[in-house]
A and B are shown apart, each in its own frame.
Chain A
Amino acid sequence: MKQYLLSVYQVDGEPTLSPEATQTMFRDVDALNAEMQSAGAWVFAGGLHPATTASVLRVKDGEVLTTDGPFAEGKEHVGGFWVIQAADLDAALAWASKATRACAAPIEVRPFDGIVEA
């Protein structure tokens, strides 16, 4: 088994979902989480506050420097993520295609370094 990070991307300035659409999204994501758990694919998942709430730390001249985030200046930010385990990329992509429908946002799939015994 391998583990994959499924990142949900949000684009700044995109129109926000209507209250009804938001409710549908929450319901769909809950249902997907339940499906992943019963299939043994779910490792961890979570939604994040907007990127404007982020802080960035780095070492400079031996001192840790803290600044207001986010780290990347781009207009796309990670809004949430899943960590799943799957036999191969095709299995991970099958979960990701359910995920992109459920949260109505693009999903980036990246493999974790290393092989998980399962």
Chain B
Amino acid sequence: MPAVSDSEIERVFREEYGRAVAVLVRSFGGIDTAEEAVQEAFTVAVQRWPDTGLPPSPAGWIITTARHRAIDRLRSDAAREDRHAKAALVHVGSEPSEEGPVRDDRLRLIFTCCHPALATDVQVALTLRLLGGLSTVEIARAFIVPEATMAQRLVRAKNKIRDAGIPYRVPGEAELPDRLRPVLAVVYLIFNEGYTASSGEQLARADLCAEAIRLGRLLAELMPDEPEVLGLLALMLLIDSRRRTRTTSGGDLVLLADQDRAMWDRGRIVEGQAIVRSLLRRNRPGPYQIQAAINAVHSDAATASATDWRQILQLYDQLFAMTPTRVVAVNRAVALAEVEGATAALAAVDSLDFGDYYLLHAVRADLLSRIGRNGEASNAYAAAIALTSNAVERTFLERARTALPA
């Protein structure tokens, strides 16, 4: 009989938790009922599988076991006159016995977790909890929030879903663009939280990147006709390909131009670039796709000096036309400096009015130093340093300021 290790059960848990919860939520209506039942099913699995071996379909076994547990629990709650349990049991009775389109269940659950009536931090926590199977402790640690705060946030969110009647369904064609936006934003936020690693335990943070990419793959599988969904996946893969080279072993920031390109993750790059190429053929551009394309151009260059900055500048122009934000404006100026020189870029930066944005001052400082205006560069670095709370970035800026010729 094949032995089943704890790590194998852990792997099944990570892969199948969201699917099982999603199916159970559809059958029973309540998220708490679904979560408790799935957790109980895994507890049984941990006891049994080491002796019996993995069942032919671990996911099916978990779902069936969880379903029986949930029905048992609802019957005993209904016997105690619990009206939610009674309502859920009526619902179960009308349910067909087969599992139905499981894919759609997870998609429904994502749209419930990222419903616009929930605050962004709540959307993020719910998505990680219900679809990612992360524990409350893990989510709290990753977002540097006390565990009790995170637990309370999740309880309130689940109560709101139940009491306000947030539906459990995929939005129709007409609402989809509006409803998809927060879903993609939540996944990208999870990724960035892991990638910037501004604070908190490094390990928990790297896990967030992996989790965001896993969610991105799931969305791409569930909504293959939405180009922005694929654009987000490509963007995360291409950025993540550089994660190992983004900081030194001592934790200092390494600029894109100074990174060891041989250390970039080729697998991630090949996959991300293939998605970008397929999106170009579809020709339905959007902000995530353009950002992915920009990163694909960077990944194409064997050396920093071989970067096709003209193409990157064009892509930033296109991006700025769609989303005129300060981040895009400043990044566009960086590309402009490479194409037309520091003086032209400085003029572009000085026309922007984002006084409290540290990156604007950092870029301005770099441009000033390139044309020998070192006194002004030093002041601009000082302004940037005063505005950033990220220790890694502050160290980088302080070094650049010290390195300026007197």
- On A, residues with C-beta under 8 Å from B are 2, 86-90, 92-93, 109-111, 113, 115
Contacts and interface: CB of A to CB of B under 8 A. Distances in A.
25 contacts: A2-B165, A86-B165, A87-B165, A87-B167, A88-B165, A88-B166, A88-B167, A89-B115, A89-B117, A89-B164, A89-B165, A89-B166, A89-B167, A90-B166, A90-B167, A92-B165, A93-B117, A109-B164, A110-B164, A111-B163, A111-B164, A111-B165, A113-B163, A115-B83, A115-B87
Contacts of A93: 117
Measured as residues with beta carbon below 8 angstroms from the partner, the interface class of chain B is under 10
Interface in B161-180: 163-167
Determine chain A's interface SS by DSSP, over half rule.
mixed
Contacts of B167: 87-90
Contacts of A86: 165
Interface string B147-173: 000000000000000011111000000
Nearest to B162: A111
The 5 A-B pairs with the shortest beta carbon distances in the complex, nearest first, are: A88-B167, A88-B165, A111-B164, A89-B165, A2-B165
Contacts of A110: 164
Given A89-B115, A109-B164, 10 more contacts: A87-B167, A88-B165, A88-B166, A89-B166, A89-B167, A90-B166, A92-B165, A111-B164, A111-B165, A115-B83
Nearest to A3: B165
A6 to B, nearest CB: 13
Contacts of A90: 166-167
Interface in B30-87: 83, 87
A86 B165 CA distance: 9
Contacts of A113: 163
Interface string B100-131: 00000000000000010100000000000000
B4 to A, nearest CB: 41
A107 to B, nearest CB: 13
| Most interface-central of B87, B165, B167 (chain A CB within 10 A) | B165
A113 B117 CA distance: 18
A109 to B, nearest CB: 8
Contacts of B166: 88-90
Contacts of B164: 89, 109-111
Contacts of A111: 163-165
A13 B31 CA distance: 44
Contacts of A89: 115, 117, 164-167
Contacts of B163: 111, 113
Contacts of B87: 115
